[in-house]
Amino acid sequence: MSRKRTSLLIAAPLAALTCAAAATAALTSNSNATTAAPAAASSPIRSAADAGVLSLAGARAQQRAGAHVTTKAAGQSIDHPLLPSECIARYGSPCYGPAQLRHLYGADKLGPDAGAGRTVALIEPGVNPVLGHDLEIYSKKTGLPKPKLTVIKVGHPKELDPSDYVQAITAEELELDAEMIHTMAPGARILDIQTEKDVANTFSGFKGAIDTIAALSKHHVDAVSLSYGWFEGNYDEAYPGKGPDVIRSQAAGLATAARHRMTVLSANGDTGATGPDLAGDALYSKQSAAFISTSPLVTAVAGTELHADDRGNRTTPDTVWGEHDGDGFATGGALSEAFTRPNYQDAIRNIVGDHRGNADVSMDGSVASRVWMYTSRYQVLSGQQPGWVRTAGTSAASPLFAGIVADAAQVAGRPLGPINAALYQLGRTPASRTAAGIADVTEGCNTTFAVQGYCARPGTDLPSGIGTVEDASRFVHALATAARP
């Protein structure tokens, strides 16, 4: 999460939350959802860059201090993505490249043209001049087809500075998004919308990002993936007593996107059931969900931890991405204070109560199962140099699932529009999940030292939603059928 925006990319995120130690209080939930108590509240939070998380939300303190990128001299350059077993031997935990991810999620069965004829958009505050180059290197080195990238400039955006921490993490996150989309939908077009101002740097600027989404209909966009935003607690802090009203007002543009049959997806956070305060110095000591993922018109994508071999075969079921070694990072998953329970969540009212529950679905995001990405110029992760780097966060999870949505739109021969009602229909029973190629995530919690979170259970839950994709070849057909206009 980038500085003023809540980047949900775990590789560099929370770099700003480097010394928030005292956020304690356990959250008392008003729902019947299963929760887990936080560990010792005095544990200091490690910076996102040190944790390997690309998250923009934690960069606020770094930007205030005028931080510059200082990690390039550290670490050893990697010229190709290592296998999971090689990562375990070198780093102590696995990391996964396109071959493993495509096989693990069953996307390899869809072929190299999966997503052809469909478009996934990304919104970037500035210009990353090496995006196309890096995406091509990523594809060539991993055996993926040549990417289809289109760039549209809004106004006169400036080139992002690789020595400026916040600008560098912004650019690196965009590259992660594009590469994860291409991994799951190698035939889809990626549309890079470059804006003149940082659409995530202020509340008003973020509204501009939502308005930009609404304006994408003329570009025949099927899906939009966002890895940044603000937490609902930020609005409460900035607009005392009016936070939810401001959030709902800003979200109005999403209805336009829905009318034009666009699927909007968002990472749902990297700090468990809470988020960073406005200063970026600490985590809130109460629950705070990430907006825009809390909007009922947005698909909130949570993070899981993968367990697979070098070929991408699962060795044990996926689990909720939870805190490791007190680092303060875990998948989002919480109740919205701004939005009430949508109809498609009525069947889980015992979990969400009267609130919109977040998340809806989950994909890989854990620091213990990082993904490989390629970046030649913008690199902020500690101990790694430009080239092939390992990263994590729900900022990887959201574009991974966005690629699968593009594959489903290809099968349907049309844009799918808002898909949450269809997702909950597919995930309503064990039999329906199996038929749709969905794996239930039943273990793990998103509690951190700051706030009590939620635990997975059989069926739909807050930290993993309906579950994760087990077989994309079944899932895309099921989603294409269920998400009818």
pLDDT digits (tens, 9 = 90+) for 287-333: 999 999 999 999 999 999 999 999 999 999 999 999 887 778 999 99
Q: Please choose, from the candidates 339, 374, 366, the residue with its C-alpha nearest in 3D space to the C-alpha of residue 353.
A: 339
At residue 271, the pLDDT reads 93
In the DSSP assignment, the letter for residue 164 is B
Two tokens, residue 386: 């430009």
Give the chain's domain count: 1
Residue 6 lies in a domain: no
Residue 5 lies in a domain: no
Bigger pLDDT: 26 vs 145: 145
Give me the percent of the chain exceeding a pLDDT of 90.
71
State mean pLDDT over 79-85.
96
Q: Is the pLDDT of residue 63 over 60?
A: no
pLDDT digits (tens, 9 = 90+) for 450-464: 899 999 999 999 999
pLDDT digits (tens, 9 = 90+) for 357-401: 999 999 999 999 999 999 999 998 888 999 999 999 999 999 999
Residue 360 lies in a domain: yes
Bigger pLDDT: 216 vs 105: 105
Residue 249 lies in a domain: yes
pLDDT digits (tens, 9 = 90+) for 263-285: 999 999 999 999 988 887 788 99
Residue 305 lies in a domain: yes
State mean pLDDT over 53-68.
54
At residue 70, the pLDDT reads 56
Q: What is the CATH number of the domain that holds 330?
A: 3.40.50.200
At residue 158, the pLDDT reads 94
Q: Is the pLDDT of residue 1 over 60?
A: no
Q: Is the pLDDT of residue 110 over 90?
A: yes
What DSSP letter does each residue of 371-439 carry, written as one string?
Answer: EEEEESS----TT--SEEEEEBSHHHHHHHHHHHHHHHHHHHTS-----HHHHHHHTSSHHHHHHTTEE
Residue 155 lies in a domain: yes
Bigger pLDDT: 138 vs 69: 138
Residue 365 lies in a domain: yes
What is the average pLDDT score of the chain? 87
At residue 39, the pLDDT reads 44
Residue 75 lies in a domain: yes
- The model's pTM is 0.90
Two tokens, residue 297: 């018109």
Domain housing 53: 35-482
Angle at which helices 203-214 and 243-250 cross, to 10°:
30
Q: Is there a contact between 286 and 346 (Cβ–Cβ < 8 Å)? A: no
At residue 54, the pLDDT reads 76
